[in-house]
Amino acid sequence: MATASLMETQPRMVLDVGVDENGKTIFRSKNFNNIKPSATTDSIFAVAQALAPLQQHSLFAVERNDSSDLQA
C-alpha cells in the first residue's frame, strides 16, 4: 500500500481584478511559498484575510495547494 508524506503547502489568494469587454470576470492569483506544511487551514485563511486589505484588488477566494511525496 502506498503512503503519502506532505512535502509543501502553497496558499493562493485569488483576486477579482474586474471584467473584460465581454463582461466576464478577470481573476489574478498570488501564491506564497515557504509555508510550513503543518500550518492549519484556519491559520492560512486568517493570514490571507489579514493580507487582503493590502492588495490593490478585492479578495475573491483563498486556495491551498498541497504537494505530497508518494512512496510504496
> Tens of pLDDT along 48-65?
999 999 999 999 999 999
Record the pTM: 0.84
Burial of 28 (0-12, 13-18, 19+ CB in 10 A): middle
Please give the residue range of the domain that contains residue 30. Answer: 3-71
Residue pair 27/17 in contact (Cβ under 8 Å)? The answer is yes
Angle formed at CA 42 by CA 39 and CA 48, multiple of 5 degrees: 90
pLDDT given at position 61: 98
10-45 pLDDT per residue, tens: 999 999 999 999 999 999 999 999 999 999 999 999
Residue pair 3/53 in contact (Cβ under 8 Å)? The answer is no
- Please count the other Cβ atoms lying within 10 Å of the Cβ belonging to residue 41: 11
Q: Per the structure, how many domains does the chain have?
A: 1
| Structure confidence at residue 69 as a pLDDT band (50, 70, 90) | very high
